[in-house]
Structure 1
Amino acid sequence: MSHWIIVPVLLPLFTAVLLILLSGRRTLIRSLSLLSATALLATSMLLLGQANDGEIRLYALGNWLPPFGILLVLDRLSALMLMVTAVLAFFSIAYAVRGNDAPGDKLHAMVHFLLLGVNGAFLTGDLFNLFVFFEVLLISSYGLLLHGRGAERARAGLHYVVLNLCGSALFLIAVAALYGVTGSLNMADMADKVRQISPEDAPLVATAGVLLLIVFGLKAAIAPLYFWLPRAYAAASAPVAAMFAIMTKVGVYTIVRVYTQIFGNDAGNVADLAWPWLWPLALITLVLGLLGALAARELRIQIAYLVVVSVGTLLAGIALNTPAALAASFYYLVHSTLICGVLFLLADLILRQRGELLDRITKGPQLRQSALLGALFFIAAIGVIGLPPLSGFIGKLLLLSAAGVHLETALLWLIVLAGSLFTLMALSRSGSTFFWRTDSRIEQAPAADKGALLAVIGLLLCILAISIHAAPILAYTQALAQQLLEPQAYSEAMQVFRVIERN
C-alpha cells in the first residue's frame, strides 16, 4: 500500500493549518504557500506516472478494510484530475503571491483548504466521504468568494452559499437512501449491491440517483442550475476565480465517476440512469452559456459564461458514453480548465490598466502595456475559441469525430461549430474594445507585475504543451476511458486488496 496516495490530502491540510498559525507574517506565508503548491505539483506528477500502468491502487486509512473503512482510490481518472488541479493551483498561487492576495493574509490558508477538499473528492472511494470533502471545499470557497469584502461579493456569495446548502441537504438525503437500501457507502461495494437490487427497491435507488444528479449538476453548473456561477466567479479576486475553474470540473468528475461505476451499463434495474438526462441538458447548457457570453458587458462575466460553455461541451461528450468520446472529453477538460484560469488572471491584468472602467466592455483609455496584454489575450482567445493549432481545436475536433455524423449528433455538430463562431464574435468584441477602440490618452496605471505576467505566460505555455504533446495525452485519456467503462475492475481490485491486507 503506497503512502503517496494520501499526500495530496495531507499536504494541503498541514499547509493550511500552518499558514493560519503564521498569521501576520505575510512574506513567510507566501513562501510556504508556493512551496507547498510546488510539492503538490511534484506529487501529482509522481501519482500520474504510477496510475499510467493501469493498476487501480487502494489506500485504507488506519488499515480499516472496505466497506467499513475510509478508502482512497488512485486510477487514471483521479490521477489526471489531481494533476490538472496541481498545475492550476501552482500558477494561481504564483500569481497571488505577487501582491494579489490582499487584503489580509488568510487567502492562502483558504486556498489550501480548498485543495484539500478538491483532492479528497477526486481520490475518495466512499460516497459519504465524497460528501465530507464536498463540504470542505464548499466552506473554503465561501471564504474565498467573500475575501476582500465588497457589496458585489456579498450578494454573489449569499446566492452561492444558499444554493450549495440546499445541494448539501439533497446530497445527504440521497446518500442516506442509498445506504438504507445497499447497506454500504463504498462505491465499488455499492455498485455490486445496486446490480442485485430487487424491482421493489429500484424506484428508491433511482430517486436517490436522480437527487445525486441534481447535486452534481449544481456543482458542475449545468442548466438550469448554472445561474449562480457568472456573478460569483466574476466577483471573486483573480487568483480565486482562476482556482474556481476546477470547481465545476469536480461536479463533472463526480457525474462520470458515480454514473459509470454505480449506475453504469450493468446496474440492473437502474442501469444508465443519467445518460438520457445528460444529453439534452448538455446541449441546453452550451446554448445558454454562449448566449450569456455574447450578451456580457464585462470581461469577467464573459469568461464565467465561457466556463459554462466548457461544461456543456464536456457533458455532451460524456453523454455519448463511448470510449472515444470520453477520451476526447477528458483531453478537452484539461484544456478548458487551464484556459479559463488563464483568462481570469489576464482579465485582472487588463482591468488594472483601465482605471475606473475596470473590465467593462466599453471604449476607454489605452492600456499602458497594450501590445503585451493584447498579444496574451489573442493567444488565450485562440485557445478558448478552438482555433488551430492550440489544444482547444484538437479537443473539439476529437469530440466531433467521436460523435460521428448521425441524426442525434447533428445538433452537437451545429452547436459546437456555431458556438466557436459565437465565441469568436464575443471575444473579438472584447479584444477590439480593449486594445483598438480606445481614446488617445493612456491610463496612468502601474505596469503589470513581472511575476504575475510570468504566471499567466506559464499557464499559456501549459496550453501549448498539451497541444504539442496531444498524442501521448490522448493515449492516456483513451486508456482512462477504457478503465472507466469497466467498473467491475474496481470491485476486483477491492477484493484483491482485502485479501492482501488480511494476510
Structure 2
Amino acid sequence: MNHLIILPILLPLLVGGFFLLRPKLSSTATRVVSLAATWALVPLAALLLMRADSGQIDVYALGGWAPPFGIVLMLDRLSALMLVVAAVLASFAVLYATRGDDRRGPDFHALFQFQLLGINGAFLTGDLFNLFVFFEILLIASYSLLLHGGGADRVRAGTHYVVLNLVGSSFFLIGIGTLYGLLGTLNMADLATKVASADPERAPLLAAAGFLLLVVFGLKGAILPLYFWLPRAYAASSAPVAALFAIMTKVGLYAIIRLFFLVFGSEAGPLANLVLPWLWPIAAVTLAIAVIGALAARDLRITLGYLVVVSVGTLLAGVALGTAEGLSAALFYLIHSTWVAGGLFLLADLVARQRGKVGCELACGPKLRNPMLLGGLFFVGAVSIAGLPPFSGFLGKVMLLQATPVGYQALVIWPVVLVGGLGMVIALARAGSTLFWRMSCSPLETADLDRVRLVATAGLLLGSPLLVVFAAPVHAYVQATARQLLDLAPYFSIVGGQGI
C-alpha cells in the first residue's frame, strides 16, 4: 500500500487537533502552522494526481482488512483531480483569512482544517458509510465556519443551512441503511457488483434507495428545488469561508458521479443509469431559475451565490449526458467554476471594504480607492464565469455544447446554456457598472487595499487564464478521467483485493 494516499486526511486531522489541544498558541504561530499545513496539500495533491494519471486505481485498506470488509480509501483520476481543486482553493482562502478574518471568532483555523479533513475524506473514501462520516465532519465544521464572527444575518442563514442538512443527513442514513439491509455491504465497488446481480424483486427498493441518495446529494450540491439555502448562506459568511464553500456544492456533485456511475452505472442491469433521465430537466431548470435569481439580486454576494447555482446546473447537464465527452466537459467546467467563484467571493469583500456601510449592496456608494485594479479583476472574473472568450468558462461551455448529441438533449441544453449565459452577462454587467461607475462621494480614508488579500484574490482569479494556457493537458486529463469512470471492470476488481 502507498501511504501517501492517506496523508490528505491525516494532515488536516492532526493539525486541527493540535490547534484544539494548544489553545495558548499565539495568533502568529497559529497562522504560520495553518498556512504551512494547507499549502502542503497542494504538492501532495499534485503527487497523487501524477500517480493517478497512470490509470491505476489505488486502494488503501486501513488495518490491512481487504475490501469489502474493512475501511478503504480509493484513489483514481477523479478523486485526485478533486483533491487538487480543493487544495488550491483552500490555500488562497486561508491566506486571505490570515489578514484578520480569522480573529472574528474562536478556533477558525482548527475548524478550517477539519473542513478540509471532511472534504478530502469524501473525495478519497471507497465506502458509502464513510462518505456519510466525512460528510458529517465537513458539515459540522461548516456550521461553525458559517456562524464564525456572529451576527443576525449569519445566525438566520445558518439556521436554514443546519436544519436542511440535518434532514439530508437523516435521509442519507435511511438510504445507506436500505442498501446495507438489501445487499449486506456498503463498499462502493462491492455494491456495484451486487446491484448488477441483484434479484429482480429487490430492484424497486434498490431504486428507492438510489433516488433517496440523489435527494441527499442534490441538497449538498444545491440543485433545484434544494438550492434555496445557498445564496443567503454564502452571502452571510465571511469572505474566506464563502470562497472555501465554493467546493461544497462540488462535493455533492462528486458524490452523484461516484454513486450513479459506479454503483448504478452501465453494468447495474435493470437499474443501469438509474437517474440520468431525471438529471436533464433538473439541470435545465436549476440553471434557468438560478439565472433569474442572479438578475433579481440586489447584493453582489447574493448574485455570486446564484452564479454558484448556475455552475451546478451546467455541471449537472454534462453529467446527465452519461458520455465520456459530457463528463470531461463537466469536469473541466468544475475546475474553472470552483476557482473563479472562490476568487469572486474574495473580490467582493475587497470591494465592500472600500464602500463602507454600503458594502456589497448594488447601490450608489463611495468612490473606490483602487477602481482600476479591482475593476480589472472583476472584469476577468465576470467574463470567465459568464462563459465568454477568451477565458476558461468559454472553453468549458463549448466543450459541453459539442458533447451534446443532436436531438432532444440539444434542444434542451443549447437554449438554456446560451440564454443563461446572456442572463449572467446582464447580471454581472449591472453589478460592475453599479460598483465601479456609480460613485457619489470621495473615497473612504480607511479603505487601503491589503496586498496579501489582493494576492489571494488574484491567485484564484488567474486560475482562469492559466486553464486556457494549459487547456490541452487539462483536457487530456479530464478525458482520461471520464473514460476511467465509464470503464467499471477495474473498480469491480477492487473487491478481489487488486490495487492494494
Q: Which TM bucket (shorter chain)?
A: over 0.9
CA distance in 2, matches of 1:482, 1:209: 23
- Larger deviation, residues 311-320 vs 457-466: 457-466
- Larger deviation, residues 326-335 vs 18-27: 18-27
- Partner SS state of residue 197, structure 1: coil
CA distance in 2, matches of 1:166, 1:345: 30
CA distance in 1, matches of 2:178, 2:263: 14
1:132-157 per-residue CA deviation (whole Å, 9 max, x = no partner) reads 00000000000001100001100111
CA distance in 2, matches of 1:45, 1:330: 17
User: Equivalent residue for 1:438?
Assistant: 439
The structural deviation recorded for 1:369 is 1.2
Where do 1:145-160 residues align within 5 Å? 145-160=146-161
Q: Is the 8 A contact 2:67 2:497 kept in 1?
A: no
Where do 1:27-46 residues align within 5 Å? 27-46=28-47
CA distance in 1, matches of 2:343, 2:416: 24
User: Equivalent residue for 1:271?
Assistant: 272
CA distance in 2, matches of 1:494, 1:28: 45
CA distance in 1, matches of 2:270, 2:326: 25
Q: Does 1:412 align with 2:398?
A: no
Q: Compared with structure 1, are the counterparts of its residues 446 and 23 closer, same or farther at alpha carbon in structure 2 (3 Å cutoff)?
A: farther
The structural deviation recorded for 1:266 is 1.5
Amino acid at match of 1:339: V
5+ residue gaps, structure 1: none
CA distance in 2, matches of 1:382, 1:140: 33
Among all aligned residue pairs of Structure 1 and Structure 2, give the percentage whose two residues are the same amino acid.
56
User: Equivalent residue for 1:173?
Assistant: 174
CA distance in 2, matches of 1:363, 1:275: 46
User: Equivalent residue for 2:367?
Assistant: 366
Aligned residues: 499
User: Equivalent residue for 2:52?
Assistant: 51
Segments of 4+ in structure 1 off by > 3 A? none
CA distance in 2, matches of 1:191, 1:405: 31
Q: Does 1:378 align with 2:379?
A: yes
- Larger deviation, residues 347-356 vs 459-468: 459-468
1:195-229 per-residue CA deviation (whole Å, 9 max, x = no partner) reads 11111111111110010000000000000000011
The structural deviation recorded for 1:158 is 0.6
User: Equivalent residue for 1:164?
Assistant: 165
Q: Does 1:132 align with 2:133?
A: yes
The structural deviation recorded for 1:22 is 3.0
CA distance in 1, matches of 2:456, 2:199: 55
Q: Is the 8 A contact 1:182 1:190 kept in 2?
A: yes
Q: Is the 8 A contact 1:289 1:308 kept in 2?
A: yes
**TM value normalised by structure 2:** 0.98
1:246-276 per-residue CA deviation (whole Å, 9 max, x = no partner) reads 0000000000000000001120121111111
5+ residue gaps, structure 2: none
User: Equivalent residue for 2:2?
Assistant: 2
User: Equivalent residue for 2:252?
Assistant: 251
The structural deviation recorded for 1:23 is 2.4
The structural deviation recorded for 1:486 is 1.2
CA distance in 2, matches of 1:434, 1:37: 33
CA distance in 1, matches of 2:199, 2:494: 26
User: Equivalent residue for 1:232?
Assistant: 233
- Partner SS state of residue 442, structure 1: coil
The structural deviation recorded for 1:105 is 4.2
Where do 1:316-331 residues align within 5 Å? 316-331=317-332
Amino acid at match of 1:218: L
Amino acid at match of 1:277: W
- Partner SS state of residue 264, structure 2: coil
User: Equivalent residue for 1:333?
Assistant: 334
CA distance in 2, matches of 1:117, 1:81: 13
The structural deviation recorded for 1:47 is 0.2
Q: Does 1:16 align with 2:16?
A: yes
- Partner SS state of residue 201, structure 2: coil
- Partner SS state of residue 442, structure 2: strand
The structural deviation recorded for 1:394 is 0.4
CA distance in 2, matches of 1:54, 1:256: 18
Amino acid at match of 2:189: A
**TM value normalised by structure 1:** 0.98
- Partner SS state of residue 101, structure 1: helix
Amino acid at match of 2:427: A
Amino acid at match of 1:249: K
- Partner SS state of residue 390, structure 2: coil
Structure 1 vs Structure 2 CA RMSD: 1.1
CA distance in 2, matches of 1:449, 1:284: 40
Q: Is the 8 A contact 1:355 1:445 kept in 2?
A: no
User: Equivalent residue for 2:190?
Assistant: 189
CA distance in 1, matches of 2:100, 2:172: 38
1:389-447 per-residue CA deviation (whole Å, 9 max, x = no partner) reads 11000000111011134233222111111111111111111111111111142233321
CA distance in 1, matches of 2:458, 2:495: 43
User: Equivalent residue for 1:117?
Assistant: 118
Q: Is the 8 A contact 1:197 1:269 kept in 2?
A: no
Q: Is the 8 A contact 2:38 2:91 kept in 1?
A: yes
CA distance in 2, matches of 1:335, 1:258: 23
CA distance in 1, matches of 2:127, 2:340: 31
- Partner SS state of residue 173, structure 2: helix
Q: Is the 8 A contact 2:68 2:495 kept in 1?
A: no
CA distance in 2, matches of 1:382, 1:488: 41
- Larger deviation, residues 74-83 vs 458-467: 458-467
The structural deviation recorded for 1:466 is 1.1
CA distance in 1, matches of 2:275, 2:12: 33
Q: Is the 8 A contact 1:23 1:105 kept in 2?
A: no
- Partner SS state of residue 72, structure 1: strand
The structural deviation recorded for 1:365 is 1.5
Q: Is the 8 A contact 1:368 1:445 kept in 2?
A: no
User: Equivalent residue for 2:489?
Assistant: 488
CA distance in 1, matches of 2:228, 2:321: 25
1:7-48 per-residue CA deviation (whole Å, 9 max, x = no partner) reads 000000001011222324211111000000111111001000
CA distance in 2, matches of 1:40, 1:488: 30
User: Equivalent residue for 1:77?
Assistant: 78
CA distance in 2, matches of 1:364, 1:98: 25
The structural deviation recorded for 1:492 is 1.5
The structural deviation recorded for 1:496 is 4.3
CA distance in 1, matches of 2:362, 2:280: 33
The structural deviation recorded for 1:317 is 0.7
User: Equivalent residue for 2:309?
Assistant: 308
Amino acid at match of 1:61: L
Q: Does 1:468 align with 2:464?
A: no
Amino acid at match of 1:169: S
Q: Is the 8 A contact 2:129 2:186 kept in 1?
A: yes
The structural deviation recorded for 1:379 is 0.9
The structural deviation recorded for 1:108 is 1.0
User: Equivalent residue for 2:404?
Assistant: 403
The structural deviation recorded for 1:100 is 2.2
Q: Is the 8 A contact 2:354 2:443 kept in 1?
A: no
- Partner SS state of residue 293, structure 2: helix
